[in-house]
């Protein structure tokens, strides 16, 4: 088997040097999606080509893995090592797009594919999303009538220090509030964040929020579907609520995985072939069936993820490219607000 995880010291040194020995048919993938989810799919792609195309993946294990991989791509821009970037945090993909480091691809998509899931210039495509949800401890809030129903409830004094959110520095929480900034305005969003900072328990990440709810440390929190479903599958007393579903509300936010081929990628043809494989409904079904219960975007997907409720979810309409404008300045402003 040619698929390698870059976990050994020798492989790490090879990447650090910028020289990746491989056959002309091999494709180097930088993946921010966890290895346990991405590795089997990349392996299946190899098998589908009868190993004519090999995959050499790089998985970063740090908590800020997306930032690390993006910074590596930026550092390597004059002599790219990566052919294809599989990201699970779209804002940093858009960051690479705005830096001119991604290649336009003719994506093989059906009519009616959501427009917010494809770059206007064709440099990235979104698929297999996570959603931002409220996780409720049903022992602490036993009556569904009392459940919070909106992200805005994080600043409601009735929930003071009984609700939780991850620091909005990076990851999906940072993406969420960048999107809200576009929808409701900069000043309104900064004011909302200030109120949340004073009212909610602020934790290091979405996983920690989900665990705090499941353990009863807080009554509810804002997290991602992949972290929420772990607690529900484990038998914890929790309920998953898709927020802001009223007609006058924005809807729930879904944040897709993205696929992008690097500009001047050494093996762009092989990378484009892998890209088509990854955005297929069959790949989305595998991710939907997996432990993270990701949400298919493709209409051809056949497997409904168990994290979805019975009733249809109203999704927020998002322009991720606009939400990424001024990212660096916005990020610094938010970080200063939440500095310990």
2 part of a folded domain: no
Q: Determine contact, residues 61/32, Cβ cutoff 8 Å.
A: no
Please tell me whether residues 162 and 230 are part of one structural domain: yes
Say what the pLDDT of residue 8 is.
Answer: 35
pTM over the 0.85 mark: yes
177 part of a folded domain: yes
Please tell me whether residues 181 and 221 are part of one structural domain: yes
Say what the pLDDT of residue 80 is.
Answer: 95
Say what the pLDDT of residue 152 is.
Answer: 97
Name which residue leads in pLDDT, 210 or 20.
210
Cβ-Cβ contacts under 8 Å for 101 (sequence gap 6 or more) = 73, 74, 77, 262, 263
Please tell me whether residues 125 and 260 are part of one structural domain: yes
Please tell me whether residues 148 and 227 are part of one structural domain: yes
Interatomic CA distance for residues 46 and 55, integer angstroms: 7
Angle between helices 225-233 and 206-215 (to 10 degrees): 30
Say what the pLDDT of residue 62 is.
Answer: 59
314 part of a folded domain: no
CATH number at residue 114: 3.40.190.10
Q: Count other C-beta atoms under 10 Å from residue 7's C-beta.
A: 11
Q: Determine contact, residues 220/213, Cβ cutoff 8 Å.
A: yes
Q: Which two tokens stand for residue 306?
A: 């168990």
Residue 143, domain extent: 130-253+327-337
HSE-CB at 44 with a 13 A cutoff on CA atoms is 12
160-181 tens-digit pLDDT:
999 999 999 888 999 999 999 9
221-275 tens-digit pLDDT:
999 999 999 999 999 999 999 999 999 999 999 999 999 999 999 999 999 999 9
Confidence of residue 185 (pLDDT cuts 50, 70, 90): very high
Q: What is the DSSP string of 276-295?
A: HHHTSHHHHHHHHHSTT--B
Please tell me whether residues 52 and 66 are part of one structural domain: yes
């Amino acid at each position: 088997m040619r698929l390698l995880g870059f976990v050994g010291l020798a492989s790490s040194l090879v990447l650090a040097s910028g020289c990746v020995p491989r056959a002309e048919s091999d494709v180097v993938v930088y993946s921010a999606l966890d290895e346990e989810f991405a590795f089997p799919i990349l392996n299946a792609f190899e098998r589908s080509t009868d190993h004519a195309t090999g995959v050499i993946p790089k998985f970063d294990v740090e908590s800020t893995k997306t930032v690390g991989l993006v910074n590596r791509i930026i550092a390597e821009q004059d002599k790219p090592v990566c052919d294809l970037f599989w990201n699970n945090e779209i804002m940093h993909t858009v960051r690479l797009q705005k830096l001119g480091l991604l290649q336009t691809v003719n994506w093989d998509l059906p009519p009616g594919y959501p427009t917010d899931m494809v770059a206007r210039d064709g440099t990235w495509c979104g698929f297999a999303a996570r959603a931002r949800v409220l996780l409720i401890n049903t022992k602490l809030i036993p009556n569904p009538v009392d459940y919070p129903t909106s992200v805005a409830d994080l600043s409601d004094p009735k929930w003071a220090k009984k609700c939780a959110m991850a620091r909005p520095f990076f990851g999906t929480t940072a993406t969420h509030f960048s999107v809200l900034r576009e929808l409701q305005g900069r000043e309104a969003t900064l004011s909302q964040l200030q109120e949340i900072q004073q009212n909610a328990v602020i934790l290091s990440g979405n996983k920690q929020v989900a665990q705090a709810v499941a353990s009863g440390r807080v009554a509810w929190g804002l997290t991602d579907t992949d972290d929420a479903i772990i607690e529900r599958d484990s038998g914890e007393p929790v309920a998953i609520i898709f927020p802001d579903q009223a007609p006058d509300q924005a809807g729930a936010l879904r944040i897709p995985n993205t696929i992008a081929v690097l500009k001047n990628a050494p093996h762009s043809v092989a990378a484009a072939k892998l890209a088509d494989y990854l955005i297929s409904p069959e790949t989305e079904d595998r991710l939907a069936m997996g432990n993270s219960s990701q949400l298919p975007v493709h209409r051809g997907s056949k497997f409904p993820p168990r994290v979805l409720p019975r009733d249809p979810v109203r999704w927020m309409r998002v322009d991720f490219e606009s939400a990424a404008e001024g990212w660096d300045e916005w990020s610094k402003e938010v970080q200063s607000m939440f500095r310990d």
